[in-house]
Amino acid sequence: MKKTLLWLLALVLMLAAVVYQRTTGPTYPIRGEFEAAGETHQYRLLRSEETSRQARIALPHPAGATLEAQLHYKRFRTADSLTVTPFVKESEEWAAYLPVQPAAGKMSYFITLTVDGNRMRIPAAPGENIVLRYKDPVPAAVLLPHIILMFFSVLIGMRAALSALFNTGDMRKWAFVTLVGMTIGGMILGPIVQKYAFGEYWTGFPFGGDLTDNKTLIMWMSWVIAVVVLTVKMTRKEVLRRAVVVAAAIVMTAVYLIPHSMGGSELDYGKVDEGIHPSEAIGTGE
């Protein structure tokens, strides 16, 4: 019964990490709503798209309301003038499109919207824009195992920490499984995903400042240390061995609290404008 409860608690903690990752970070859609014709209408604005197609920015079409909308955009971190394009009716939505950029290229955009004579801006704050990043397509056969193994590692890592806290006797086994999952999911499949998406296997330490790569490295190293301590028995004090596993889980949790894709790959448009090929002009953002 104790182990069953610990698995349930580990599952809750893992699901919390999944939800947090899906609702934070600079690449997940921005959600909001506006009032029209006496009803609330929800929208979902993209912040990531593949280079195989234009990013479609869509708004709901309120029945019985008069709506006009314009998309204002330019290349991110450039002195480009804003381009303005109107939204047009497509099926049950209004839509406008951002031009395709090379991998790691970013577009900065906002929307002006007039509904029944009331004008608004999305985002509402003056000067605040939405940033969308383009990436090359990643095969599902690579991306899905990467995602599954990363969250599987969180689940097992939490279970290992709970085993250490409640001394259920299976701490070493689950710490080892966590390290295997993180090695395959994070240190092998992660760089392959990055290579497909942005053309480089690794842009973290010591080659760059990609925060996602560095987070993965920190998590992986924390579990390497934990497994080494458990395997070679660097200390005979059980309480210290359990503390190392708990510490690895704390590091993992702290890393997951940092929004995904922060400081990720970013195209330097200044270099592109100088004639450098986009594949050679990718660095890491802030």
Task: Render pLDDT for 61-108 as a digit per residue (tens, 0 to 9).
Answer: 887 778 899 999 999 999 999 999 999 999 889 999 999 999 999 999
In tens, the pLDDT along 157-209 reads: 999 999 999 999 899 999 999 999 999 999 999 999 999 999 999 988 888 77
Task: Say what the pLDDT of residue 236 is.
Answer: 65
Residues 6+ positions from 258 with CB-CB distance below 8 Å:
211, 215
User: Does position 261 have pLDDT exceeding 80, yes or no?
Assistant: no
Is residue 286 over pLDDT 60? no
Q: How far apart are CA 68 and CA 88, in angstroms?
A: 9
- Token pair 């330097």: residue: 268
Q: How confident is the model at residue 233 (pLDDT cuts 50, 70, 90)?
A: low
CB contact at 8 A, 62 and 39:
yes
Instruction: Domain ranges for the chain, please list them.
Output: 2-24+139-284, 37-135
Instruction: List C-alpha distances in Å: 211 to 57, 157, 217, 260, 283.
Output: 28, 21, 10, 9, 12
Torsion of CA 200, 205, 211, 217, to 10 degrees: 100
Give me the CATH code for the 37-135 domain, please: 2.60.40.10
Residue in 78, 95, 75 with CA at minimum distance from that of residue 87: 95
Q: What is the pLDDT of residue 285?
A: 63
pLDDT confidence of residue 26: 79
Q: What pLDDT does 234 receive?
A: 57
Above 60 in pLDDT, residue 40? yes
pLDDT, one tens digit per residue, over 6-26 is 999 999 999 998 888 777 777
* % residues pLDDT > 90 (the chain): 72
CA torsion through residues 3, 151, 20, 253, sign: positive
pLDDT at 224 > cutoff 70 = yes
The yes-or-no verdict on residue 210 having pLDDT over 60 is yes
pLDDT tens per residue across span 111-127: 999 988 889 999 999 88
141's CB contacts (< 8 A; 6+ apart) are none
**What global pTM score does this model have?**
0.86
